[in-house]
Structure 1
């Protein structure tokens, strides 16, 4: 049985396989030969990486759970939302403990793939269904230079092996230099890629997230009403009123 990034076998004739194959075709602008090569490389990577069993592993990153990368709730259209925040790594001791050598880096990358696989398990993989996730990346205090290697590895892994798995990428707490870099690289991005980007300056996180995610689904640290413990009791009840009172 040939497994794909999303579980179902490509040897089966069903809607799930069709949805997955279409993702690979779109990722290569419907160039069949290039799409096939991408798919074959992905299947080999999953075998070598052990991606199909990664959800069963305890990788020992409890301190990063719910802080650095985590699935939390859904957007207004029903897409699972993955939050990413790397500000904790501005602490040198924390950075060295997680990225101190190549072995540690590889273990972190494995954990980051594990988080993504949790989100993929929530997808429908059927025509007209929810077949992609939302990525929210918090750039506040992110040590850009130190995390360059890890960021490039993560980006490469996701682009090569999880095509068209992201419906929208929301960047919050964006520093001024990020906007400058984006304007420089924007001409080299496809319109399809640029249409997925939402860039929000520092201080506008809640306002931006509310456009796509209901307040009761937004984590409290970003101005919402949702705590991790809330999700253990099932989906939150819709908030009928959300009032912020000023000080007297």
Structure 2
């Protein structure tokens, strides 16, 4: 995220704005927190070997001052430094099975991709038309405090274009904004219920491969679970075609036509899914601005903590999200214009 173009969040947001209901109790806005009974799994402590590898990677990353890309090479920005959290580095280490040099290379590649793809430049105004029918919805949390990201292919309203993939990237960035402290993964809920105008709700193979490549390469260790219902034969065939391109560990996270209340509290599970009791209606004019306000508020709070903590590469996400009072210690003689290292990415 960029600290220079983040919208300033309101000083306070009335609960009625974030969780607006109609007179008959139908929710039209995102939920701002998990249920009180939901708990994030305890993270395993690093082994001595893992700690050594993390320390090596952190020392390397702290030397970076530039991002090298095909078209947008230049100095490492504050937003990119903030993206390089302790947990981010650990996600790439886990994704590369703790091969620290591979993790370093993949981090460099993702920083270049984020610039070239324009992740931080994607705006709600540009993406909004893609979501006019509510084909992607961020709503509620599962029992492990993962934000729930609903995909509704039957609500498809646009023809195939680069903006469709940008839409997914934009929503992934927003779901990351909504992740509470101690949780860094999401729950994906896909309902292949047929829409009013389209029966074939499967994306093309080319687009499917592009999306999978982006998810696996640039959002590693972000998928906690994927729950899928109402799979027609054509979509079932699509999954069979793309299965070879899905990482084996990712395949284990896929759940087909199961009781979703095993994983999501029924009071936060959208009633479109069996067992769900959350009455929600997508109204783009209400939901879309409410989602942007909520995410902007959470991003602004994290930026403020990151700056107060000394703008550290390797900062703790639990500190940025307000769970830990203390972040990593700022370097001696820290000032707001301090630069770190001299090695280009």
Matches within 5 A, 1:1-248: 1-2=76-77, 8-10=82-84, 17-54=85-122, 56-59=123-126, 61-62=128-129, 64-65=131-132, 67-89=134-156, 94=157, 97-99=158-160, 105-124=161-180, 129-141=182-194, 143=200, 147-175=204-232, 192-200=249-257, 208-223=259-274, 224-226=276-278, 227-228=280-281
Structure number with greater Rg is 2
Alignment RMSD: 3.3
**Distance apart, 1:184 and its partner CA:** 8.9
CA distance in 1 between counterparts of 2:164 and 2:90 reads: 30
> CA separation of 1:171/1:186 partners in 2, compared to 1, >3 Å: closer, same or farther?
same
Instruction: For 2:270 and 2:224, locate their aligned partners in 1 and report how far apart those are by CA, in whole Å.
Output: 20
The number of residue pairs the alignment matches comes to: 204
Cα 1:158/1:182, change in 2 over 3 Å:
closer
CA 1:167–1:66 in 2, change beyond 3 Å: closer, same or farther?
A: farther
SS at match of 1:83: strand
Partner of 1:14: none
Change (3 A) 1:193 1:109: closer
Q: Which has more helix, going by share of residues? A: 1
Normalising by structure 1, we get a TM-score of 0.68
CA distance in 1, matches of 2:219, 2:165: 14
Query: 8 Å contact 1:69–1:85 — kept in the other structure?
Result: yes
Rate the CA distance shift 1:170–1:82 in 2: closer, same or farther, 3 A. Answer: same
**Residues 200 and 234 of structure 2 are in contact (CA less than 8 Å); yes or no, is this contact kept in structure 1?**
no
Are 1:68 and 1:85, in contact at CA under 8 Å, matched by a contact in 2? yes
Q: Which runs of 5+ in 2 are unaligned?
A: 1-75, 291-345
Gaps of 5+ in 1: 11-16, 100-104, 201-206, 233-248
Per the alignment, in what secondary structure is the counterpart of residue 8 of structure 1?
A: helix
Distance 2:117 2:277 in 1: 37
**TM-score, scaled to structure 2:** 0.51
